[in-house]
C-alpha cells in the first residue's frame, strides 16, 4: 500500500497488517524527503510512524478524537488525514503547518505547540462527550518529555478520581529534545528494564493472538485477557495508584502488537495509559544516532545528513552562555536554569562546564522560575534561559515569586519576535506585552549581541532586582555597539528635527533604513535605540517632546500592551508629546512563513515605515 492509495484515513481500518507495513515505508520516506527540503521536526516524527498507523487502523477518527501533546509529532497523522498531496508545502509560506491547526483540517482538534496540556484538553473533550450524550473514544498522545510538565499531573489527578473513558498513549522514546530529565523519567526507565521488555514482547504476542476479535466469547476472553495482561505487563505503581489502568511497555514499531492491544481497549470505559516504546529518528541512521540534532532541523542533505545553510550569524544565546561561563569562574554564585531547552537556548556549554550549577527543570517553566527565585533568595545569581513564547507559561511565577519578592533573577528570553517556520504557537511576539505590567521588572531588548553582553555585565555589577533580557536567536545587523548599558537610557543613532523614531531591538536596522529613505525626501528624523523598554528614557522623551518632535515607535511585538503603548501612556500621563505611529505586529496569532514577508505585510520594513512617516508628517 502506498500513500497515494490512501484517500481517507478511515481506509486504513480495513487494511492488512502487511499493507500497513509497506505503507509505513512510504510514510517514512515522504517525511524524510520533505523535512530534508523544508526543515521540521524529524526525529519525533520518524518515531511515530507505526504508532500513528496502528491508531488509524483501529480507531475511527470520524468519531474518535485524537489529540497530540505539543503536536510536533503529527506528520504521519497529517499524511493520513487528507494532506498527503500538500505535504510538500510543510512549514512554507501558505503551506501546511508543522503543528496541528484546527483551520487546516477537522482532524486537527487543537491548535498545539506548547507542551503538557493534551491530557487536560482530552479530559475536557471526554467530559463534554459524556454530558452531551456523545460517542467515540478520546485518545491523547503524550511524550515522556511532555510528562515532565506539571499540567499533566493536574490532569491525571482529576482523571483518576472522576473516571471516564480516555486512552493516554505515552510515547516513550527516552528523550525530550535532549535526554529526558527527572525522577519520573528514571521511573519510566525502570518500567522499561525491570522485567526486560524483550521478554514481555513474546509473552504479550503469545497471549494476544489467542484472544479472537469479535464473537460471543469476546467479553469472557477479554476478562481473561485483562487478567493475563496484568500478569505479563510490568507492575506499575505510579499510574495505577493514580487510578489509571497501566499497560506496557509495548514495542511502538510493531504494528501487529499495537493494533491487537488497541483493539482490546476499544470497549474500555475507564482511563487507560498505554506505555509505548518508540525510537526517535527511527529508520534514518543519522537521526537514530543523534536524535537531538534532528529534533528540529533546517533543510539538510539526505545522503550526508549535513545541514544546508548559509553562514549563521552569532547567536545571542551562545554568546550569553560564553559570557556567563567566563564570569562563573570568578563568581561561584552564578547558576543557570533551563526548561528542557538547554541546546536551543545555547546553554549546553554552561551545562558541560558547570554541571553542578546548571539545572534543567524539564518542560516545567513554572517550576524553573520559582526554583530560580528560591536560589536567588538563598544568595545565588540565577540566569533563567527560556524562549519568549514558553516563558508565558510562568507568568504568575514571574509576578508572585520573582517580582513580588524583588529577587535578582535574570530572564534570558530567546527566540523573541516572529520565528518563521514553527508558526503561531512559537512566535515570541507577546513578551513585552505580558511582562510590561509586572511591577519591579526591568525589560531590556538589546539591539545586538554586544549590547546584550553589556546588559548582562550591568546585571552582575548593579542588578539587585529582576531583569528580563529579550532577544531573537541570531545577531542583528547594524552599527557596532560601543556603549555601556544603563536602564532608562536610550542610545541616539541618528539626529534629526522632524520626528523621533524609537526602535526596539531587532527593529533598529529597519528604523535606520527608514531614516535614510526619508532623508532623500528632505525629511530628517532622529532614531533612538530604545533597548530599555522598562523603564523608559524619560529624559529623552521629554527633550524630543519639548522640541515639538512627534514620536513613532517600532517593535517586533504585538501592538497591544507593547512598547508603543508604553510611550503613548507616557505622553498621556505627562501631558506632553504625541505618538503619531506605532509600528508593531498585529494582535493576532500569525501563521508560519517567511519573516521578511511577514514584516513587509505588517508594515515593519524600512520602506513601509518611511512611507507611513512621510504621509503622517504631511498631514
Ligand X SMILES: Cc1ncc(C[n+]2csc(CCOP(=O)(O)OP(=O)(O)O)c2C)c(N)n1
The contact mask relative to ligand X for 301-340 (x = CB under 6 A, - = no) is ---------------------------------------x
**C-alpha angle 281-283-285 in degrees, rounded to nearest 5:** 75
Binding to ligand X, residues 58-87 (CB under 6 A): 70, 72-73
First-residue to last-residue Cα distance in the chain: 66
From 109-117, 320-328, 488-496, 607-615, give the range in contact with ligand X by CB under 6 A: 109-117
State the minimum distance, in angstroms, from the CB of residue 177 to ligand X.
Answer: 5
CB of 526 to ligand X, least distance (A): 40
- β-strand pairing of 499-503 with 551-558: parallel
Query: In terms of residues, how long is the chain?
Result: 619
529 binds ligand X (CB under 6 A): no
176 binds ligand X (CB under 6 A): yes
Print the binding letters for residues 386-405 with ligand X: x by CB under 6 A, - otherwise: ----x--x------------
CA 241 to chain centre: 31
Question: Least distance from C-beta 367 to ligand X, angstroms?
Answer: 12
Taking the complex as a whole, how short is the minimal distance between the CB of residue 112 and ligand X, in angstroms? 9
| Segment (H or E) for 35 | helix 17-38
Among 50, 292, 365, 366, which one carries the catalytic annotation?
Answer: 365
- Do 276 and 258 touch, CB atoms closer than 8 A? yes
> What whole-number distance in Å separates Cα of residue 139 and Cα of residue 147?
16
Compute the least distance from the CB of residue 297 to ligand X, in Å.
13
| Residue 112 vs 254, nearer CB to ligand X | 112
Return the residues of window 265-304 that contact ligand X according to CB under 6 A. 280
What is the 3-state composition of the chain as percent helix, strand, coil, each rounded to the nearest 5? 45, 15, 40
Closer to ligand X at the Cβ: 173 or 448?
173
Q: Report, in Å, the least distance between residue 434 CB and ligand X.
A: 14
Nearer to ligand X, 113 or 283 (CB): 113
In whole angstroms, how close is the CB of 393 to ligand X at the nearest point?
A: 5
Rounded distance between C-alpha atoms, residue 495 and residue 519, angstroms: 11
CA 187 to CA 190: how far, in whole Å? 5
Q: What's the closest the beta carbon of residue 207 comes to ligand X, in angstroms?
A: 29
How many residues sit close enough to ligand X to count as binding (CB under 6 A)? 23
Name which of 381 and 393 has its Cβ closer to ligand X.
393
- By beta-carbon proximity to ligand X, the closer residue of 117 and 565 is 117
CA 8/CA 615 separation, integer angstroms? 53
DSSP 494-542: E--SSEEEEE-GGGHHHHHHHHHHHHHTT--EEEEE--EEES--HHHHH
Exactly one of 143, 317, 431, 487 binds ligand X (CB under 6 A); that residue is 143
381 is catalytic: no
3-state secondary structure of 423: coil
Range 355-374, binding ligand X (CB under 6 A): 363, 365
Query: Strand 442-444 and strand 532-534: pairing?
Result: antiparallel
Q: Does the annotation count 534 as an active-site position?
A: no
Going from the C-alpha of 446 to that of each of 387, 419, 492, 529, the distances in angstroms are: 16, 17, 14, 8
Helix (H, G, I), strand (E, B) or coil at 346: coil
Of the listed pieces 139-147, 303-311, 506-514, 579-587, which binds ligand X according to CB under 6 A?
139-147
Cα-Cα-Cα-Cα torsion 49, 53, 55, 61, nearest 10 degrees, comes to 120
**Residue 249 interacts with ligand X (CB under 6 A): yes or no:** no
Stretch that binds ligand X, among 169-177, 320-328, 521-529, 562-570 (CB under 6 A): 169-177
Binding region for ligand X (CB under 6 A) out of 26-34, 173-181, 222-230, 432-440: 173-181
Q: Which of 282, 357, 381, 393 does the annotation list as catalytic? A: 393
What nine digits make up the cell of 162? 472522576
Catalytic residue among 280, 447, 534, 598: 280
Which range in 143-151, 397-405, 464-472, 529-537 contacts ligand X by CB under 6 A? 143-151
Q: Does residue 365 have an active-site annotation?
A: yes
Q: Across the strands, what pairs with 501? A: 527, 552
> Distances in Å between the alpha carbon of 463 and those of 115, 328, 413?
32, 16, 17
- Residue of 24, 36, 44, 338 that binds ligand X (CB under 6 A): 44
Please say which residue, 118 or 320, places its beta carbon nearer to ligand X. Answer: 118
- The binder of ligand X chosen from 26, 144, 491, 556 (CB under 6 A): 144
Nearer to ligand X, 144 or 401 (CB): 144
Strand partners, 171: 143, 276
* Cα–Cα distance, 262 to 277 (Å, whole number): 15
- 589 and 560 Cβ atoms separated by less than 8 Å: no
| Among 111, 173, 397, 454, interactor with ligand X by CB under 6 A | 173
The answer to whether 185 contacts ligand X (rule: CB under 6 A) is no
Helix (H) or strand (E) holding 320, with range, is: helix 316-330
Closer of 414 and 555 to ligand X (Cβ): 414
Element (H, E) at 411: strand 410-414
Alpha-carbon distance 370 to 587, whole Å? 29
**Across the chain, which distance is largest between two alpha carbons, in Å?**
90
**Peptide bond before residue 265 is cis, with ω within 30 degrees of 0:** no
Residue 114 in the binding site for ligand X (CB under 6 A)? yes
Catalytic residues: 280, 365, 393
Q: Applying CB under 6 A, which residues contact ligand X?
A: 44, 70, 72-73, 113-115, 143-146, 171, 173, 175-177, 280, 340-341, 363, 365, 390, 393
Amino acid at each position: 500500500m502506498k500513500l497515494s492509495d490512501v484517500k481517507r484515513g478511515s481506509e486504513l481500518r480495513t487494511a492488512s497488517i502487511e499493507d500497513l507495513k509497506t505503507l509505513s515505508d512510504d510514510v517514512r520516506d515522504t517525511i524524510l524527503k520533505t523535512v530534508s527540503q523544508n526543515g521540521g521536526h524529524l526525529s519525533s516524527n520518524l518515531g511515530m510512524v507505526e504508532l500513528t498507523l496502528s491508531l488509524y487502523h483501529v480507531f475511527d477518527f470520524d468519531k474518535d478524537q485524537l489529540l497530540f501533546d505539543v503536536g510536533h509529532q503529527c506528520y504521519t497523522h497529517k499524511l493520513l488525514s487528507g494532506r498527503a498531496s500538500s505535504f510538500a508545502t510543510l512549514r512554507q509560506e501558505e503551506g501546511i503547518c508543522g503543528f496541528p491547526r484546527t483551520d487546516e483540517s477537522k482532524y486537527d482538534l487543537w491548535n498545539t505547540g506548547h507542551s503538557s496540556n493534551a491530557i487536560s484538553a482530552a479530559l475536557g473533550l471526554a467530559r463534554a462527550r459524556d454530558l452531551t450524550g456523545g460517542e467515540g473514544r478520546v485518545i491523547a498522545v503524550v511524550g515522556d518529555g511532555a510528562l515532565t510538565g506539571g499540567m499533566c499531573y493536574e490532569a491525571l489527578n482529576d482523571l483518576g478520581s472522576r473516571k471516564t473513558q480516555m486512552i493516554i498513549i505515552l510515547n516513550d522514546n527516552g528523550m525530550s529534545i535532549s535526554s529526558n530529565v527527572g525522577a519520573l523519567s528514571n521511573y519510566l526507565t525502570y518500567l522499561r528494564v525491570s522485567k526486560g521488555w524483550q521478554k514481555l514482547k513474546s509473552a504479550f504476542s503469545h497471549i494476544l493472538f489467542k484472544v479472537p476479535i469479535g464473537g460471543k466469547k469476546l467479553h469472557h476472553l477479554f476478562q481473561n485477557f485483562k487478567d493475563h495482561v496484568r500478569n505479563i505487563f510490568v507492575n506499575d505503581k505510579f499510574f495505577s495508584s493514580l487510578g489509571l489502568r497501566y499497560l506496557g511497555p509495548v514495542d511502538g514499531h510493531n504494528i501487529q502488537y499495537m493494533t491487537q492491544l488497541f483493539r482490546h481497549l476499544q470497549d474500555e470505559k475507564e482511563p487507560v495509559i498505554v506505555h509505548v516504546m518508540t525510537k526517535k529518528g527511527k529508520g534514518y541512521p543519522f537521526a537514530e544516532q543523534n536524535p537531538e540534532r534532528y529534533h528540529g532541523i533546517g533543510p539538510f542533505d539526505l545522503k550526508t545528513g549535513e545541514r544546508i545553510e548559509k553562514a549563521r550569524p552569532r547567536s545571542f544565546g551562545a554568546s550569553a552562555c560564553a559570557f556567563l561561563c567566563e564570569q562563573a569562574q570568578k563568581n561561584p554564585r552564578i547558576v543557570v536554569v533551563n526548561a528542557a531547552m538547554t541546546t536551543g537556548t545555547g546553554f549546553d556549554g554552561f551545562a558541560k562546564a558547570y554541571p553542578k550549577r546548571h539545572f534543567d527543570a524539564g518542560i516545567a517553566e513554572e517550576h524553573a522560575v520559582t526554583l530560580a527565585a528560591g536560589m536567588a533568595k538563598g544568595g545565588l545569581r540565577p540566569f533563567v534561559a527560556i524562549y519568549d513564547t514558553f516563558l508565558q507559561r510562568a507568568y504568575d511565577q514571574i509576578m508572585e515569586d520573582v517580582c513580588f519578592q524583588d529577587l535578582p533573577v535574570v530572564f534570558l528570553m530567546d527566540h523573541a519576535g516572529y520565528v518563521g517556520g514553527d508558526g503561531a504557537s512559537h512566535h515570541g511576539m507577546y513578551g513585552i506585552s505580558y511582562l510590561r505590567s509586572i511591577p519591579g521588572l526591568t525589560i531590556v531588548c538589546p539591539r545586538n549581541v554586544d549590547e546584550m553582553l553589556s546588559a548582562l555585565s550591568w546585571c552582575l555589577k548593579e542588578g539587585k532586582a529582576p531583569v528580563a533580557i529579550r532577544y531573537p536567536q541570531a545577531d542583528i545587523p547594524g552599527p557596532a555597539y560601543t556603549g555601556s548599558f544603563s536602564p532608562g537610557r536610550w542610545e541616539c543613532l541618528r539626529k534629526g528635527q522632524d520626528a523621533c523614531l524609537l526602535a526596539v531591538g531587532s527593529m533598529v536596522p529597519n528604523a535606520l533604513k527608514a531614516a535614510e529613505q526619508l532623508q532623500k525626501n528632505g525629511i530628517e528624523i532622529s532614531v533612538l535605540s530604545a533597548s530599555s523598554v522598562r523603564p523608559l528614557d524619560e529624559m529623552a522623551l521629554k527633550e524630543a517632546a519639548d522640541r515639538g518632535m512627534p514620536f513613532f515607535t517600532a517593535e517586533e511585538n504585538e501592538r497591544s500592551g507593547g512598547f508603543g503603548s508604553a510611550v503613548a501612556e507616557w505622553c498621556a500621563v505627562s501631558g506632553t508629546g504625541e505618538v503619531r505611529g506605532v509600528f508593531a505586529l498585529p494582535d493576532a496569532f500569525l501563521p508560519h512563513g517567511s519573516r521578511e514577508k511577514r514584516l513587509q505585510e505588517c508594515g515593519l520594513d524600512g520602506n513601509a515605515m518611511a512611507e507611513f512617516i512621510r504621509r503622517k508628517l504631511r498631514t
